A = this chain, B = another copy of it.
Amino acid sequence: MLIGRVVNSIWSTRKDESLVGAKLMIVQLLDTPEEGRGKIIVAVDMIGAGIGERVLITQGSSARRTAGFEDAPIDSVIVGIIDENQSEVSLR
C-alpha cells in the first residue's frame, strides 16, 4: 500500500456506470524521500477521508476487493485514514 494526502474531490459527470455514486478523491502520494515529489492519483474513498488527511491507498486489482466494486474498473482505493498522532518524521 502507499501513503498519500487527500488534495481535493474530483468531478466527472460523464463516466462509467459502475462509478456512479463513487466518492472520487485526488490524492498526492507521500512515497518519495523528497517532500512534494509524489505522483497525483485518483482513488475511490470508502472510509470518508477529508481534504488534508493522510490516507492509506491500495492499488491494482486488489482495489476491487472493496464492497460493491468487485466488478468495477477501479485500480486505487482509500482503505484507511492514518492517525493524526503518527508524526511526519516517521514517514521518512
Q: Taking beta carbons and an 8 Å cutoff, which residues of A are in contact with B?
A: 1-3, 7-8, 10-16, 18-19, 24, 26, 28, 30-33, 36-43, 46-48, 56, 58-66, 71-77, 79-83, 85-86, 90-92
Contact = CB atoms under 8 A, between A and B. Distances in A.
Contacts of A15: 47, 56, 79-81
Q: How many copies does the complex hold?
A: 5
B61 A26 contact: no
> Which residue, A12, A30, A41, A85, has most C-beta atoms of chain B within 10 A?
A12
A68 B19 CA distance: 17
A14 B81 contact: yes
A36 B36 contact: no
A18 to B, nearest CB: 8
